[in-house]
């Protein structure tokens, strides 16, 4: 295992080529479909609830289907028992295959047996309703239209919603909200420390390897030994503070990687300043580290 800046820059160059080739200014088909459906709502609260359902199922089709059965106005008026009843009727009455497949970003939810899917869904909706009630509305909770809203504040606030404590559903949901509301809120990082694919992408750029005992790149190594090497070769505004935990280590490293990609010579200028930049780099790191580009780094 070697930390070699020359080789790291070569890997960044490979990643930037991949990034340029795989990012388009057009949203994907699912986002276009969701945007089209949201345009049919006059009520902003129903629009926001549909986006929540899309995040839950990672499927616009299932979100629309569930919304037809129970909309936000009904959820607001419903008792906890009624919400459980709706979830039970909906989930037990469907086979989640084909067009009804729960998306890959909800793989844990997708793999649950149906009775657990009911419990998982009902807990989210009951909790979401309770949280939103304390803020008065979904618009208020997500601070839609607030030009000074901070992504990290919303990201942490979403932990109040049951089953939204992992990074992925929170990041996915805020990305959807951002893209569908003219990028009213954007992140400055993608929280690699709590991720899988993006974390592996960052590690791949630095070491050409995965986070594993076999590669020697372990969380313990990154916390105990790596900061000294990093600060000696990189340091400056990207220095890792003394006694940092894994989160702080990855925060410093992530900011450096993002900065390198953003300022890479071959990256078109319109990409550098694109409001979707962090969302796009997060997605590309996840996909890139799974692809053939790793083959040359082993």
CB 151 within 8 A of CB 9: no
Q: Which residue, 154, 180, 206, sits at the end of a domain? A: 180
Name the pTM for this structure.
Answer: 0.92
- 153 burial class (0-12, 13-18, 19+ CB within 10 angstroms)? exposed
Q: How many CB atoms lie within 10 A of CB 133?
A: 11
CB 164 within 8 A of CB 253: no
Tens digit of pLDDT per residue, the chain (298 long)? Answer: 678 999 999 999 999 999 999 886 555 656 777 877 777 777 899 999 999 999 999 999 999 999 999 999 999 999 999 999 999 999 999 999 888 899 988 999 999 999 999 999 999 999 999 999 999 999 999 999 898 999 999 999 999 999 999 999 999 999 999 999 999 999 999 999 999 999 999 999 999 888 887 778 899 999 999 999 999 999 999 999 999 999 999 999 999 999 999 999 999 998 899 999 999 999 999 999 987 445 455 4
Question: Quick one: 158 and 253 in the same domain?
Answer: no
Does some domain include residue 135? yes
The residue range of the domain holding 85 is 41-180
Does some domain include residue 200? yes
Rounded Cα–Cα distance for residues 288 and 281 (Å) = 10
Question: Quick one: 45 and 176 in the same domain?
Answer: yes
Rounded Cα–Cα distance for residues 55 and 123 (Å) = 15
Q: Which residue, 151, 180, 209, sits at the end of a domain? A: 180
Nearest partner of 200 among 222, 180, 178, judged by Cα: 222
Question: Quick one: 209 and 161 in the same domain?
Answer: no
């Amino acid at each position: 295992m070697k930390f070699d800046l020359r080789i790291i820059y070569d890997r960044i160059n490979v990643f930037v080529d991949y990034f340029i080739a795989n990012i388009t200014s057009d949203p994907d088909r699912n986002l276009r479909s969701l945007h089209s459906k949201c345009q049919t709502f006059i009520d902003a609260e129903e629009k926001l609830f549909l986006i929540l359902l899309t995040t839950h199922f990672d499927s616009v089709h299932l979100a629309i289907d569930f919304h037809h059965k129970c909309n936000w106005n009904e959820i607001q008026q419903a008792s906890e028992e009624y919400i459980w009843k709706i979830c039970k009727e909906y989930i037990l009455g469907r086979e989640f295959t084909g067009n009804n497949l729960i998306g890959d970003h909800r793989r844990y939810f997708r793999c649950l047996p149906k009775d657990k899917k009911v419990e998982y869904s009902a807990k989210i909706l009951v909790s979401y309703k309770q949280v939103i009630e304390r803020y008065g509305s979904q618009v208020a909770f997500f601070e839609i239209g607030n030009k000074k809203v901070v992504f990290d504040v919303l990201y942490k606030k979403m932990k109040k919603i049951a089953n939204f404590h992992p990074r992925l559903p929170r990041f996915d949901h805020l990305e959807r909200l951002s893209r569908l509301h003219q990028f009213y809120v954007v992140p400055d990082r993608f929280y690699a420390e709590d991720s899988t694919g993006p974390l592996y992408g960052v590690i791949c750029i630095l070491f050409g390897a995965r986070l594993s005992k076999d590669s020697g790149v372990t969380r313990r190594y990154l916390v105990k030994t790596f900061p000294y090497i990093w600060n000696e070769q990189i340091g400056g505004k990207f220095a890792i503070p003394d006694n940092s935990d894994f989160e702080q280590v990855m925060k410093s490293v992530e900011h450096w990687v993002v900065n390198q990609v953003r300022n890479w010579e071959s990256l078109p200028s319109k990409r550098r300043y694109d409001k979707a930049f962090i969302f796009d780099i997060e997605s590309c790191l996840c996909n890139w580290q799974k692809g053939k580009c790793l083959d040359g780094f082993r």
